[in-house]
């Protein structure tokens, strides 16, 4: 059983949005921190942490980071990833400028970078292996705006005003693919262990158009808060051996609390 499923966390957390009166740009909050526990059945197999920071001197540029780690108490699970995405935010869309993904193992690291050059409509892709040598390098045309493995997390939150189904171009595994998202704005309540009341949320379903690591079948579902922050609070991902659940464990966001479902 391949439990590297944490690598797909960023892609799984594609869920929903709030009412059309909410500001899209409010999704990006300087200093936001979100921490999730990851469960396979009732077993905690790891955690994920997301941080958002506005880049000093730039009103619409943000540095977004994610750390994905396995539970150290489970010796058969070894996951240790760090992602950075520099994202430019406009009035009605976002686009990544540079993505860096690092995997740590046995005291070494591999590094994957996407460098988006919109003036020349190209993205430069490079992967450096654990031995320090270049394993993969190529240039792809940017015929459309691609999201990367981390910016897609913010794209889904940013676009939750939509009520349409969309296919979002994504760069994954050093190549292009897409994720299908149904933005239907279905309001509901959802419970998590860190709250003693049901959380006002929006439910979403979607599918990745490929088979990913550890048997990801493609289908996913989730719940985001029904407010301007549109924070993912719970997600479910189907895999060949069953399903994995992600749940919001801790958070920091100025002036924000979980909205109650009434």
Q: How far apart are CA 28 and CA 153, in angstroms?
A: 11
* pLDDT recorded at residue 137: 96
- The winner for highest mean pLDDT among 7-11, 15-19, 81-85 is 81-85
* pLDDT recorded at residue 211: 53
β-pair partners for 210: none
More reliable by pLDDT, 228 or 172: 228
CATH of the domain at 124: 2.40.360
- CA-based diameter of the chain, in Å? 56
Q: How far apart are CA 47 and CA 87, in angstroms?
A: 23
In a domain, 214, yes or no: yes
Judge whether residue 252 has pLDDT over 70: yes
- How many Cα atoms within 13 Å fall on the side-chain side of residue 39? 14
In a domain, 257, yes or no: no
Nearest CA-CA partner of 37 in 11, 64, 6: 6
Residue range(s) defining the domain that contains residue 140: 4-252
In a domain, 259, yes or no: no
* pLDDT recorded at residue 20: 40
In a domain, 248, yes or no: yes
Pick from 150-164, 183-197, 220-234: least confident: 150-164
Total structural domains within the chain: 1
In a domain, 28, yes or no: yes
Helix (H) or strand (E) holding 10: helix 9-12
Judge whether residue 181 has pLDDT over 50: yes
In a domain, 205, yes or no: yes
In a domain, 143, yes or no: yes
Pick from 13-17, 136-140, 159-163, 190-194: least confident: 13-17
- pLDDT confidence band for 214 (50 / 70 / 90): very low
* pLDDT recorded at residue 165: 80
Q: What is the pLDDT of residues 112-139, one digit of tens each?
A: 999 999 999 999 999 999 999 999 999 9
């Amino acid at each position: 059983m391949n439990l590297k499923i944490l690598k797909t966390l960023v892609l799984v957390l594609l869920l929903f949005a709030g009412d059309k009166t909410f500001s899209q740009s409010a999704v990006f909050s300087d200093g936001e921190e979100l921490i999730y526990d990851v469960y396979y059945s009732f077993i905690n197999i790891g955690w994920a942490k997301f941080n958002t920071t506005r880049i000093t001197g730039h009103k619409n540029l943000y540095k977004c980071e994610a750390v994905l780690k396995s539970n150290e108490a489970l010796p058969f699970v070894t996951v240790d990833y760090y992602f950075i995405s520099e994202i430019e935010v406009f009035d009605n869309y976002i686009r990544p400028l540079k993505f860096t993904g690092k995997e740590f193992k046995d005291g070494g690291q591999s590094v994957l970078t996407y460098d988006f050059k919109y003036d020349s409509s190209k993205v430069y892709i490079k992967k450096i292996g654990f031995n320090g040598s270049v394993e993969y390098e190529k240039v792809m045309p940017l015929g459309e705006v691609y999201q990367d493995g981390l910016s897609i997390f913010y794209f889904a939150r940013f676009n939750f005003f939509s009520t349409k189904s969309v296919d979002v171009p994504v760069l994954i595994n050093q190549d292009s693919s897409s994720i299908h998202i149904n933005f239907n704005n279905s309001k509901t309540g959802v419970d998590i262990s860190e709250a003693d009341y049901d959380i006002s949320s929006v439910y979403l379903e979607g599918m990745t158009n490929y088979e990913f690591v550890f048997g990801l079948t493609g289908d996913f579902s989730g719940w985001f808060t029904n407010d301007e922050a549109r924070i993912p609070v719970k997600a479910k991902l189907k895999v060949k051996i069953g399903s994995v659940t992600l749940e919001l464990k801790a958070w920091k966001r100025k002036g924000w609390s979980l909205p109650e479902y009434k």
